[in-house]
């Protein structure tokens, strides 16, 4: 019994506030009390209320929330609620950090992390069991493609649980970036509609709009072997470069390449021979985009490191050998410039494909999604893992980025 001070903190994200009215109950170990308040939570605001409660509630265990609406269900993002009881300066914290939508009553337990106990009468144990039942309904598994990690059951982003979607700011940021990119592409298309591209320098016609110092550097040096080698450590996919301990078995050196073989043997002995093998792409059927068949290569690049530390390509094999085909052509820096450049472009294309497929899609999104869905299905909000501050970035990978 006595005076309770209740503080309600609303998220600062766009549309976090709500025009709907919110009701609150304090639930103690002895009894619960419905609070007489008119709360319409405002975005980014902390709102404080004092209540005189005649009964002794006992130690606070839960806060219950109910958002009511007449016509429009205006979702509310509640960060947390704190309650300061009578005769104490300490606040009891009830973390929320989620959207409230619809008519149900949301029960927030006191925020101390708790592991599962074996006392079935423990109110927190009951709460955990109910929460997990609900979560298993909300977060369901689906198989997107056989052989790939399982995903959450959702056909589009609107099917995702509300708390697994991007906040509005992030969504708008993505959409604007996409729109700006598409607009720039269309403008360039119109600009070059009546011009033909006959020389590599003609690419400069589309090099305007958003630029950076790095983009300028790449435009100046993109044909250089030095930048080509540099990108294996500093580009999108620095995961494939290996120092050779022997010559790769797929590298078939035909007669007439004795000089190359001798050079590679020397580099091998010096420990300055490197390889980048895209063999994982071998045999993957390429897509058809707008009726046009696309092509994938599975190249091998051999590089040497010169005394100043620069990585320089010495030979490129575009496809691995196959019993049904003649030995694959080897491309060398001494080839005609456009042939050598084309071989390097195929390698860059493969580098991008493998980076997107394996290191980006599989190793980040698909694996993280399994962890996120399993966490939400198997661990209740009171589990210590949910007290980790960086957890939201792990648990919200369910929209494509």
Residues that bind Fe ion (CB under 5 A): 401
- Is 360 part of any known ligand binding site? yes
CB 373 to Fe ion: min, Å: 17
Helix (H, G, I), strand (E, B) or coil at 380: coil
- Of 120, 116, 135, give the one whose Cα is nearest residue 382: 116
- Is 365 part of any known ligand binding site? yes
Helix (H, G, I), strand (E, B) or coil at 91: strand
Residue 186 or residue 401: which is nearer to Fe ion going by CB? Answer: 401
Angle, CA 296 vertex, CA 291 and CA 297 arms, to 5°: 155
CB 365 to Fe ion: min, Å: 6
As beta bridge partners, residue 95 has: 80
Q: Which residue has the tokens 């009171």?
A: 382
Residue closest to Fe ion, measured at CB: 401
Residue 281 is given by DSSP the state G
Residue 152 or residue 316: which is nearer to Fe ion going by CB? Answer: 152
Q: DSSP characters for 149-215?
A: PPEES-SSGGGS-GGGSPPHHHHHHHHHHHHHHHHHHHHHHHHTTT----SGGGGGGG--SS--HHH
Residue 23 or residue 365: which is nearer to Fe ion going by CB? Answer: 365
CB 258 to Fe ion: min, Å: 46
- Of 268, 343, 282, give the one whose Cα is nearest residue 313: 343
CB 386 to Fe ion: min, Å: 24
- Is 75 part of any known ligand binding site? yes
Residue 31 or residue 401: which is nearer to Fe ion going by CB? Answer: 401
CB 160 to Fe ion: min, Å: 16
Tokens of 42: 């405002």
Residue 12 or residue 361: which is nearer to Fe ion going by CB? Answer: 361
User: Which segments are annotated as binding site for Ca(2+)?
Assistant: 17, 74-75
User: Which segments are annotated as binding site?
Assistant: 17, 74-75, 360, 365
User: Which segments are annotated as binding site for Fe cation?
Assistant: 360, 365
């Amino acid at each position: 019994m006595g005076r309770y001070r209740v503080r309600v903190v609303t998220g600062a994200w766009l549309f976090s506030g709500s025009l709907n009215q919110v009701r609150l109950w304090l639930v103690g170990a002895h009894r619960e009390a419905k609070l007489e308040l008119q709360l319409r939570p405002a975005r980014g605001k902390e709102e404080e209320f004092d209540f005189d409660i005649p009964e002794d509630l006992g130690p606070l265990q839960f806060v219950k929330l109910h958002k009511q609406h007449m016509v429009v269900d205006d979702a509310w993002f509640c960060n947390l609620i704190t309650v300061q009881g009578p005769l104490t300066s300490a606040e009891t914290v009830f973390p929320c950090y989620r959207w409230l939508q619809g008519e149900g009553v949301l029960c927030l337990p006191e925020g101390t992390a708790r592991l599962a106990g074996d006392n079935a009468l423990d109110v927190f144990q009951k709460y955990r069991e109910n929460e997990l039942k609900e979560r298993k309904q909300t977060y369901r598994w689906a198989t997107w493609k056989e052989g790939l990690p399982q995903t959450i059951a959702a056909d589009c982003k609107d099917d995702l649980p509300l708390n697994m979607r991007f906040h509005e700011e992030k969504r708008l940021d993505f959409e604007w970036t996409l729109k700006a990119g598409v607009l720039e592409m269309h403008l360039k298309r119109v600009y070059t509609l009546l011009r033909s591209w006959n020389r590599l320098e003609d690419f400069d016609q589309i090099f305007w709009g958003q630029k950076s110092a790095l983009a300028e550097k790449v435009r100046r040096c993109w044909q250089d072997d030095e930048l080509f080698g540099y990108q294996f450590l500093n580009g999108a996919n620095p995961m494939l470069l290996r120092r050779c301990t022997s010559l790769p078995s797929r590298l078939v050196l035909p007669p007439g390449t004795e000089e190359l073989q001798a050079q590679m043997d020397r580099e091998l002995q010096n420990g300055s021979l490197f390889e980048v093998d895209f063999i994982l792409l071998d045999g993957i059927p390429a897509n058809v985009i707008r009726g046009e068949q696309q092509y994938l290569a599975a190249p091998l690049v051999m590089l040497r490191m010169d005394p100043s530390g620069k990585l320089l390509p010495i030979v490129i094999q575009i496809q691995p050998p196959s019993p049904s085909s003649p030995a694959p052509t080897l491309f060398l820096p001494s080839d005609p410039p456009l042939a050598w450049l084309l071989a390097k472009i195929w390698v860059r294309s493969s580098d991008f494909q493998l980076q997107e497929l394996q290191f980006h899609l599989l190793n980040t999104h698909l694996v993280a999604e399994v962890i996120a869905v399993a966490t939400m299905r198997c661990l209740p909000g009171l589990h210590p893992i949910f007290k980790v501050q960086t957890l939201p970035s792990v648990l919200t990978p369910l929209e494509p980025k």
